[in-house]
A and B are shown apart, each in its own frame.
Chain A
Amino acid sequence: AQKVTQAQTEISVVEKEDVTLDCVYETRDTTYYLFWYKQPPSGELVFLIRRNSFDEQNEISGRYSWNFQKSTSSFNFTITASQVVDSAVYFCALSEARDKLVFGAGTILRVKS
């Protein structure tokens, strides 16, 4: 069965610092998708990225970047030059074999000005 672990419960940084959110996953499938979502205080889930298991290219989108390493079953997320608006709960999630989306426990990110 699939499992997602986000070991960091809460991270506090000062504005403009870089921060990396860790995500480790477990799956027996060779084909799967990994996701990152942001959940601000309002509650809605904001989609950030989807990556399939065959694409290990790292990705950069503005201040966001993702490092996918199948060898260590990790899909880490880095925010460069963090801003107060980045404060939210961030979830890593995994979907395998046309199945449900399973979420990690989430990491609370607090960015202080």
Chain B
Amino acid sequence: GAVVSQHPSRVICKSGTSVKIECRSLDFQATTMFWYRQFPKKSLMLMATSNEGSKATYEQGVEKDKFLINHASLTLSTLTVTSAHPEDSSFYICSASQDWGYGYTFGSGTRLTVV
């Protein structure tokens, strides 16, 4: 079946630094990738939708300059948290879609802690 690999699974960084999270579709080409954020004991909130070769579409309230998304190829999307602050600490999960009817495959998530 479709597999999405997300790295790193855990990262601790200092306040003010940037962190990059990678999301790769291993055995299929993902025309669309999604990035979600999940706070403890909360649901998954969509941050942005990215299509290969075009700019990401951000959800209302998500800072584009803080959460940079790049979808450079049909198998790779990256989320960079720039100038991270403790309030950016969260669980980030990516998802890839081959085609709408095929459903969505999720990565295993990245737990970001900013100290």
Which residues of A line the B interface, CB within 8 A? 33, 35, 37, 43-45, 47, 50, 52, 91, 95, 98, 100-106, 108
Contacts and interface: CB of A to CB of B under 8 A. Distances in A.
A43 B106 contact: no
A44 B109 contact: yes
Contact of A45 (B49, B101, B106): B106
Contacts of A105: 42-43
16 contacts: A33-B100, A35-B103, A37-B106, A44-B106, A47-B104, A47-B105, A91-B43, A95-B100, A100-B34, A100-B46, A101-B46, A101-B95, A103-B44, A105-B43, A106-B42, A106-B43
A34 to B, nearest CB: 11
A66 to B, nearest CB: 15
Contacts of B101: 33, 52
A38 B100 CA distance: 20
A69 B111 CA distance: 37
B28 interface: no
Contacts of A101: 34, 46, 95, 104
Interface in B22-52: 34, 41-44, 46, 49
B93 to A, nearest CB: 7
B43 A43 contact: no
Contacts of B89: none
Nearest to A42: B108
Given A33-B100, A47-B105, 7 more contacts: A45-B106, A47-B104, A50-B103, A95-B100, A100-B49, A101-B46, A105-B42
B113 to A, nearest CB: 14
A91 B111 contact: no
B95 A104 contact: no
